[in-house]
Structure 1
């Protein structure tokens, strides 16, 4: 991205009444951020959804002055911009209407890996939650996924550390500029994160630290990934907001169930109960339901066994798929009257027996 265009992108981002959605609309209409500032006000007002109040402060010279200061900060601190129109912008985020027009990166993030998952959860994570999070990352390591989280206390830092320990790339999405780190006690992990991925944010170095920023940050965590995993959550919390955002982006959500008497399991149990998340009891349910294992099947042909012994439920599902040719997991569960969480395990067993196989899009067929 050219320096001059980045300057105008930053200036546009600095305009208080222009958010990411409006900024993209203006850039799309005018052709570039620079062209927005050079367009006549009367022409801008003809754009659908652009009113007098929105652009009332657009031509204030302060925006360019502050943009130059931020650009200077970026250059001095080796911060890389990722502009929404450039090829290096995260592909999945491009699909999100409210994604940032520009992201600021510190580190060496490689987004060519198609397997990206977000791991979120309670800040006051339990011992059991820590154990499951570490097990989750360890068992998924064979698929080499990128682990995304928010660098906060509890679940977030557990996920980042687990990724580093398993030599996986990890991305920390921050709710503040790259001139600081929160919480400060996590400063000791910064170097390892930057060596094994890096930090992303859409906040400037001059932005005031605000707790509401954490909720805004969550859209990046949800948007980067093909799936969001909630390890633990109380009845209310930022993790549930991230799950809701992921659902709104039509991404998969997984939640780890817990005892109904455990306060840190209420949120996860509610997600599952209201069918906003898949029940996650085994880490390997994730690559199975996301069809990550298809890559291995391309090199390992499946040979159908003769006279395979099947349980009554396996026979029911097999005959159903034989009749339907291929079908979605959720539809199979509904038509065969088998809970989704139970069917997922059942399908794994049937796949190992060589009698069914998964297809892209959560479809399954007989072999």
Structure 2
């Protein structure tokens, strides 16, 4: 990636009142992240969610200065990163509309394996939860999954250590920059994690582990994975937030049940009781639910429909056929089309009878 593009991405990240959803809308609307800062303000004002107060922050010189400082650090330290439109961006995360526009990475990461699961839970896990976590990962070893967690106390570090013990790749998603480490006592595991996977974060190198960062981190933990597993949780806790996010992404959620009187089983029991998670009693439950035990026969891709579609329409059709129903903004991002152009194309495809609109700006073949 050239310096100009990376600087524009960092500058957009630094802009107050522009989150990842709005940032992606800006980029897809004007065609590129560089163009965001070259476009006329009256053009930007026409984009949904952008007003004079937002553009005021967008062109604030202090953001540019901060972005230049972070760019210098990245270049000096050869920091690895992934832009949301690049091929090396995690595929599962690409389908999450609020995923970070830029991720920083460290270690020996290989995300080509699509068997990615997140394992999270309380920081005060019991021996029951610890034994189950260790046995679960040991039993899943033959399927060679990637184990994702948050590098925190309790369930998180137990999952990372069990993955390393079983020679499985593990990914630690951080709630701070790569120059920091939290908790400090887990510094001793950095080398092992880097050797068997690595670290991912959306935060700049100097960012401290603030409370709100952990909540933001949870969407990456959920978004990276095909399924999220809750080992133990109290009635309230961060892992339940991760479960909610995973459900919002239409990902599978599993929860380990426990005794009704156990404080750190109440959260899991409630998830199961409210049909927000599958009952988890063994590795077999995950294997069957995620179809890891099935050898699927590849179905030849339909190159052309009987109706006449142009190149753009065919691209959108093939995308929806492969990924199922999707949000308008997600289709625009993944197919690299401005939303205004996509809306027009979708109308034509609807008239041709090859797609249908759904509530909430969603579409399917």
- Bin for the TM-score computed over the shorter chain: 0.7 to 0.9
Name the structure 2 match of 1:203. Answer: 203
Residue 41 of structure 1 corresponds to: 41
SS in structure 1 at match of 2:69 = helix
Which residues of structure 1 form unaligned runs of 5+? Answer: 299-367
2:267 maps to which residue? 267
Q: Highest CA radius of gyration, 1 or 2?
A: 1
Asked if the contact 2:222/2:246 (under 8 Å) is kept, the reply is: yes
Give the SS at the match of 2:57: coil
Task: State the alpha-carbon separation in 2 of the partners of residues 134 and 28 from structure 1.
Answer: 44
| Structure 1 equivalent of residue 131 of structure 2 | 131
Give, in angstroms, the shift of residue 3 of structure 1. 2.5
Q: Does residue 100 of structure 2 align to residue 100 of structure 1? A: yes
Q: Equivalent residue for 1:65? A: 65
Mapped partners of 1:124, 1:276: distance in 2: 22
Asked whether the 8 Å contact 2:83–2:102 carries over to 1, the reply is yes
Aligned to 1:321: none
Partners of 1:245 and 1:229 in 2: how far apart? 12
Contact 1:83 1:101 in 2 (8 A): yes
Q: TM-score, normalising length from structure 2?
A: 0.80
Alignment partners' CA distance in 1, 2:70 and 2:14: 10
Which deviations, in whole Å up to 9, do the C-alpha atoms of 1:2-53 show, x marking residues without a partner? 2320111011000011100010011111111111011111110011221222
Structure 2: where are the runs of 5+ without partners? 298-365
Partner of 1:78 in structure 2? 78
Cα offsets for 1:84-135 (capped at 9, x unmatched): 0001101111111100000000112111001000000000000111110001
Given that residues 180 and 208 in structure 2 are in contact (C-alpha distance below 8 angstroms), is that contact kept between their aligned partners in structure 1? no
Alpha-carbon spacing, 1:111–1:128, altered in 2? closer, same or farther (3 Å) = same
RMSD of the TM alignment (CA)?
1.1
Q: Which moved more, 1:62-71 or 1:85-94?
A: 62-71
Deviates more, 1:59-68 or 1:108-117: 59-68
| Corresponding position of 2:294 | 294
Distance 1:268 1:283 in 2: 17
Deviation at 1:205, TM superposition (A): 2.0
Q: Which moved more, 1:238-247 or 1:48-57?
A: 48-57
Distance in 2 (alpha carbons) for counterparts of 1:75 and 1:144: 34
**Secondary structure in 1 matching 2:178:** coil
Q: Determine the C-alpha separation between the residues in 2 that align with 1:209 and 1:246.
A: 22
Please give the alpha-carbon distance, in whole angstroms, between the structure 2 residues aligned to 1:247 and 1:57: 33
Alpha-carbon distance between aligned partners in 1 of 2:93 and 2:51, rounded to the nearest angstrom: 27
In structure 2, distance between residues paired with 1:95 and 1:151 = 24
Please give the TM-score of this superposition, normalised by the length of structure 1. 0.79
Give, in angstroms, the shift of residue 220 of structure 1.
Answer: 0.1
Name the count of aligned residue pairs: 297
Which residue of structure 2 lines up, in the alignment, with residue 213 of structure 1? 213
**SS of the residue aligned with 1:200?**
strand
3-state SS of paired residue (1:147)? strand
> Cα deviations across residues 264-291 of structure 1 (Å, max 9, x unaligned)?
0000000000000000011121011100
